[in-house]
Structure formats: C-alpha cells, structure tokens
Amino acid sequence: MNVLRLFNTLTKRVEAFEPRDPERVTFYTCGPTVYDDAHIGNFRSFLAADVLRRFIESPMCVLAEEPGHRSGERCHQERCHQERCHQERCHRGPRQVVHVMNITDVGHMTDDADGGENGEDRMAVAGRRLLEAKKAGKLAAGVDVDPKDPRQIARYFEGRFKEDARKLGLKLVMEADQDATLMPRATEHVGGMIKVIERLIARGAAYVVGDVGRRVVYFSVQAFPAYGSLSGNTLDKLREGAGGRVSAENQSGKRHPADFLLWKEDPSHIMKWASPWGEGYPGWHIECSVMSVAGTDARADVGTMVVPDAEPIIDLHSGGEDNIFPHHECEIAQSCCAFNAQPRGATYAKMWFHPRFLLVEGEKMSKSKGNFFTARDLFAKGHEPAAVRLELIKTHYRSNANFTEQGLKDSAARIERWRAYAAFLTKQCVEHADDDPGFTFYLTAEGLGHAIRALCTDLNTARVIAELDSKQSMDVSNVERKYFEHPSNWESDLGEEWRVAHDPSQNGYRRELACLRLLDSVLGVIFTSRQSSESVRDIGLFIGVEPSPEVEAKLRERRDARARKDFAASDRLRDELAAMGYAIKDAKDGKVEVRRK
C-alpha cells in the first residue's frame, strides 16, 4: 500500500506523514510579505504547498495512521478501495485540509537587498517606491493608495498577490475569498501575540530588558533545550553574526547571543501597537506561532490553550528553505514553550516541508542580473498562468529547479496536448462512442497508479507529468477543441471520478477522463478556464497565451486576407505577429492557433 511519504526537515528523512486526525489535516504555510509583488521564486514555494494540499485532500491520497488512532477502524470499512489496506493502518481521502497562510503586513522588515539604507523599514521603502510610481503616473488607473499609510500599502500589495495567486490556481487563496480566517493578517493578530509573549514571560522563557521607552522583550533560547533541532544550528555551533546581519547594539541586551526579539518598544515606528511593554511592534517569528494556531483551530485561545505533552499543534508546516533558520527554529521554540504543558520533548509541527530556491536561466534570480520575474511580469508578456504554474511545479520541490523561457514554452505546449486529449475523450463520451479495442487507455491501465505512487513518494510531480505524456499515441491535431469547453469538464466531484475510474463496467473513455481529472485536481493546469472571451473563440485557440485586442485585430485581418487568397498580405501579418513574439499555426475552418514564439 502506498502511503504519502515526505522529506521531513525535522528528521532529515523521507517518512510517512501521519496527521493526528486523517479526516482533518492542519497545514500552515508561511505566506508573503506584502510590500512588493511576489516573484516566481515566492510562487514556486507556495505552489509546491498547493500541490501538496491538493493531493492530501484528494481521494487518491492514502495516509498512514498513528497506532490506535480514533478513526482507524471506520475508514477501513467504508472508504478503502484497496484490498491490502485492510491489513494496514491507513486512511484514504477525500479529506479536509485546513490550509492556512498568513499575510505579513507588519512593517518591521528591514530591506538589505535593494534598499541599501541599512535597515530601512521595508514598508517605508515600498511607500517610497509607490510614491515615485504615482508621481511618474505609472500607477494603474483607478488605484488610489496613500504611499504614506503602511496599512494601505500592505492592502494594495495583498490585493495584487491574491490576484496573481488566483490566476496560478492557489486553492487556498480562492478559499480565503469565502473564509478570511484562512489568510490571517499579522496586524490583526497583535493582541494574540501579546498574550503569547505574556505567557512566555510567565513561564520564564522570555525576559524584558531596557528602561521604559526603550524596552525590548527577548525569547530566551536557553529555556528550550531542543533549540537547533530543525536546522542543526544548535546553540554551541552557532557563530554569532556570521550572516553579517546583526548589530552590536541589538546584541548588547541579550542574555544569550541567539536570543531573539518578541517585542520592541518604539513609539516612533511606522506601525505600532500598545502593549504591557509600551507602544511598539512584535518580532517577526511570533506572528506565525499565533496565526498557525488561530487559523487552523478557530476555537483555540492562544492566551490559555494547553497542548498535552509531545502532541503536535499542527500537522504540516511549509515555507521557503531560507525560513528554516532562524524563523522556523524560533517558531518551534516559542510555540512549544507557550502552548505545551511540558516544552521539553514537545512537537510543534509534525512534518516540515521546505521547497528549495528557484534558479532562473541557470543563475540565482536577482534584479541586477535581469533574470528577476514577478508572476505578473510573465502574465503581462502574454504567458498563460497555467503554463507558468506547470513550469513552476514540474521539477521536484527539493531540487533547485531552473526556470527558463524555453521551459515555459514547453509547458504551454504540454498543457495544450493534454487538453487536446481531454477534448478527444470528452467527444467520445458526449457521442457515447463504444470502446475501441485498438485504443490504449494508458491512464486507466496503469498510469494513474504510477502517478499516485510518484506523488506518495515525496511528491514527485515530474513523474506524474511523465505519466501524462507517455504512451499517448493518438493524433490530437484534428480533435475539435470545442469539446474541451464542454460543461461536464468544469464541474466534477472527485469522489465520483475516483469511483468511475475504478469501475470496469464504465465506458473506457469515461474512465480515462476520470483519471485525467483526478490527476489534474493536483496539477491544476488542464481544466482551468482560459482567459479567452467568447469574442476570440471564432478566431482560434490561444495556447499558453493571453489574447490582446491588438493581436486579435491582426488575426482577423489575416483571416480575411487568406480567405481571398491574398497570401502576400497574410504573410506580412504573420511576420508582424512574429515580431511581436507570437507564432501562429493555421488550423481548420480558417482558424489559427497562437503561441509564444
């Protein structure tokens, strides 16, 4: 039996993921800081988390169960379709995943990357940039944001982040439109942070230094013996200041050099709140300790909740690899010391999932190298979001994937081939075609099983893509794409798809389509609505491309030229489109297919 196994940063091994309650998995992802647009590296990390949560909640995913778990008996009887499962402790989906991602909108981040102003607040930098954009008239029409108000700046970029994320199919963001508690804002949880800091002080895990007006609360790392277990940076091995980002002034009041900030009294700060330690702002790490609990368990009160010894608080936690230390290390220390009855030996999150950084054209992404892209940069260039999504999830999350323009084109073409296959299968279903004994249903036969095994083995998305590509030996060039737009492709119940996929009495085409939908429920790139409006459908198909009115006009002009066999005009228009970066292909009925060159 294949159960989901993941590389756990905490144990540095690939191991079975065993949530406390397999019917309700809690998952927390460190979210974006909203002082700028998210770039494709940010999104790679968020998309890896999205793929994981989509798989966990799907009927394809089987989870191992802790011995003696409460729901163990029931699932074996009712849910499992696999014979061997009855002998082992496991639980088959579908199941609920409570996925929470915070929005870091507190302006205490310092910008050492491109601000240069040695510790200038990121929100202040963002405000200055916005102000410049506003003066230059570069701000989009209808946007009214006051560059002096950090809350407005944060809301502005939060809105843009959600817009990009929706296009890229981040399920969590779409859910958060219905339930805002799934994307909590740090600024709205400062009260909880203060409560947790008070608890930490009361338990001797934190201390206050400095005179009134300049008070600072630090977490005492020596209060938590397990400090260092996630990153390997144990207290005896840490070398103070090796990262070159600590100032002597900040270190002077600490009992131990690794102690970190929980609260800083600073009435002059750009964003500030009242607290028992004066007006000021919270440390960076404390927000996630609070929001991971508040988001995944709405009933919990961070001021009073007590977790029994060694019991995890959440099942799964993700974030970029740069968060491993110090952020996640500190989060563990805070949460265990604040919430666990016995911090020693406690577990905050059971499984830690850290996607690695993305390279672009073989190099580290940086603004100075010119290989720095935000998601919206790519959308603006006409790349379809689904292609960007596939390009970002196609490589194993734990390797340094290389994002390339060529790869983006490949991804767009790949998606279109899959869509053509979906259109073909849909056509056969709609027309109630009989099974063709000469046709190989490669997914139904074994591809689905291979793909599921790959996902169970540390979320191997590349292998899933290979399964979707392989053994597909049919000419998809002549399939009428209108079948892809068939309403049945846009609403499907995954539990039902799973049943159909495993029901031998069903039509082969129907079963194959069910397999395709199941796999795409994880990848999220095939059955996504294209941006194309009704008005452009009569011209043709936009492959990995967002149509623009300008392109549309040229295509119409060219279609008319071809109708009257004016090939000179037709070729001239094709060249013009090529110069704009579009490749076109003539298809049936005077239609064209448009892609990126």
Partner RNA sequence: GGCCGCGUGCCAGAGUGGUCUAAUGGGGCGGAUUGCAAAUCCGUUGCGCAAGCUUCGUCGGUUCGAAUCCGACCGCGGCCUCCA
Residues 254 to 293: which contact RNA by CB under 7 A? 257-261, 264, 283-285
Compute the distance between CA of residue 199 and CA of residue 188 in angstroms, rounded to an integer.
19
CA–CA gap between residue 82 and residue 528 (Å, rounded): 31
Options 128-136, 344-352, 422-430, 468-476: segment touching RNA (CB under 7 A): 468-476
Nearest distance, CB of residue 16 and RNA, angstroms: 17
- In 307-456, where do the E strands start and end? 314-318, 349-353, 359-360, 363-364, 402-403
Q: At what angle do helices 405-430 and 385-393 cross, to 10 degrees?
A: 110
Q: Would you count residue 185 as binding RNA (CB under 7 A)?
A: no
The single residue among 5, 463, 486, 591 that binds RNA, judged by CB under 7 A, is: 463
Per CB under 7 A, which of residues 55..84 are in contact with RNA? none
Q: Which one, of 154, 152, 162, lies nearest residue 183 by Cα?
A: 162
Angle (CA) 308 313 315, round 5°: 130
AA letter at 164: D
Q: Does 222 bind RNA (CB under 7 A)?
A: no
Window 488-527: residues binding RNA (CB under 7 A):
none
Using the structure block, give the residue that is written with the tokens 């194959």.
512
State which of residues 475, 491, 534, 589 lies at the interface with RNA (CB under 7 A): 475
Hey, is 445 helix, strand or coil?
Answer: helix
Interface of this chain with RNA, residues 91 to 110, rule: CB under 7 A: 108-110
* Residue 364 C-beta: closest distance to RNA, Å: 5
Phi, psi dihedral angles at 117 (to 5 degrees)? -80, 50
Binding segment for RNA (CB under 7 A), chosen from 392-400, 434-442, 506-514, 522-530, is 392-400
**Strand 402-403 to strand 359-360: parallel, antiparallel, or no bridges (unpaired)?**
parallel
Alpha helices by DSSP H, 81-149: 122-135
CB of 490 to RNA, least distance (A): 24
Q: Does residue 454 touch RNA according to CB under 7 A?
A: yes
Q: Is residue 430 involved in binding RNA (CB under 7 A)?
A: no
Scanning 27-35, 125-133, 187-195, 517-525 for contacts with RNA by CB under 7 A, the matching segment is 27-35
Nearest approach in angstroms of CB 342 to RNA is 23
In this structure, which amino acid lies at residue 273?
W
Residues counted in the chain: 597
Figure out which of the listed residues 6, 182, 401, 513 binds RNA, where binding follows CB under 7 A. Answer: 401
Cβ-based nearer residue to RNA, 50 or 65: 50
- Does position 476 bind RNA by CB under 7 A? yes
Q: Which of residues 346-385 bind RNA (CB under 7 A)?
A: 355-359, 362-365
- Quick one: tokens of 593? 């297919």
Residue closer to RNA by CB (options 182, 358) is: 358
Return the number of the residue (318 or 347) whose C-beta is nearest RNA: 318
Structure tokens of 20?
């406390």
Q: State whether the Cα torsion 506-509-515-521 is positive or negative.
A: negative
- Is 65 or 552 the residue whose CB approaches RNA more closely? 552
Return d(Cα 523, Cα 543) in angstroms, integer. Answer: 18
Q: Give the contact letters, 298-337, x = binds to RNA (CB under 7 A), - = no.
A: ---------------------xxxxxxxxx--x-------
Alpha carbons 317 and 347: distance in angstroms, whole number = 12
CA 313 to chain centre: 21
Interface pick for RNA out of 340, 395, 489, 521 (rule CB under 7 A) = 395
Q: Which of 133, 139, 300, 413 binds RNA (CB under 7 A)?
A: 413
Bridge partners, residue 39, by sequence? 374
Q: Interacting stretch for RNA, rule CB under 7 A, among 128-136, 252-260, 484-492, 498-506?
A: 252-260
